[in-house]
Structure 1
């Protein structure tokens, strides 16, 4: 969460420093940055209340808001080492609503869990998503 807020603060400061006189469009940009920070904070807080259970078949169970969903990792998941970008699909919902995008950073979980998640993604989920593509 701190990295998300730091990014938004840096964007606000860069805008503040680069503009000598504030006008209405500048205030609009600052309000967009503030709204983005608020929405990003809400998303990060929702991730804090989410639990992930890695399955041996390459699927992922997500516990959130009192319910558990089994999701399938889509082809195109990327592991940059410092961030994971994962596309997830719910097989029970066959619309665009059944597709999720998830970005995770190491601070979203414990160090051992982060390492295990990355290994699971490489060994099981990448292999399964490549086979289904």
Structure 2
């Protein structure tokens, strides 16, 4: 495999649909099971709506370029800026259908807080890159950087 590997991360329509569906189900359950106290219903509805908005904002924010480096580093290009990062020790969980990454800044740089934890699905990556990403994660990202 040749590195660096450039990935154009994009929002996954399936993840957006599942966020909406789960929050609508929670809203319907609240509507049918809520006590007759209007302030409890209003508060719970506000929490559900805020949670749905946050989930949609997180998924919509997955519009950036990721460069997977040969040494296990990650370069993320977001809004005209580039951030260098590494996968934190023990900071990757791969279930096959989803990968959770915990990143930390590399080289004393900064890393926006919303890029410090990422959940990626196969639909977030270009066709054919999911397997390459998982191979890089297993064989490159877990290696200590060369000093």
What is the TM-score normalised by the length of structure 1? 0.81
Aligned CA distance change for structure 1 residues 112 and 37 (closer, same or farther; 3 Å): same
1:9 aligned to which of 11, 16, 24: 24
Q: For the residues of structure 2 that align with 1:4 and 1:82, how far apart are their CA atoms?
A: 16
Regions of 4+ moved over 6 Å: none
> How many residues get paired?
128
1:40 shift after superposition: 1.6
Give the RMSD, CA atoms, in angstroms.
2.5
1:66 shift after superposition: 0.8
1:21 shift after superposition: 3.5
Instruction: Please tell me whether residue 123 in structure 1 is matched to residue 124 in structure 2.
Output: no
2:77 aligned to which of 44, 58, 63: 63
Aligned CA distance change for structure 1 residues 81 and 19 (closer, same or farther; 3 Å): same
Higher helix fraction (1 or 2): 1
1:102 aligned to which of 112, 118, 128: 118
Residue equivalent to 1:34: 49
* Between 33-42 and 103-112, the greater mean CA deviation after superposition: 103-112
Bigger RCO of structures 1 and 2 (CA < 8 A, at least 6 apart): 2
Q: For the residues of structure 1 that align with 2:37 and 2:122, how far apart are their CA atoms?
A: 38
Q: For the residues of structure 1 that align with 2:37 and 2:133, how far apart are their CA atoms?
A: 46
Higher strand fraction (1 or 2): 2
Q: For the residues of structure 1 that align with 2:98 and 2:88, how far apart are their CA atoms?
A: 17
Q: For the residues of structure 2 that align with 1:24 and 1:103, how far apart are their CA atoms?
A: 34
Q: For the residues of structure 2 that align with 1:62 and 1:119, how far apart are their CA atoms?
A: 19
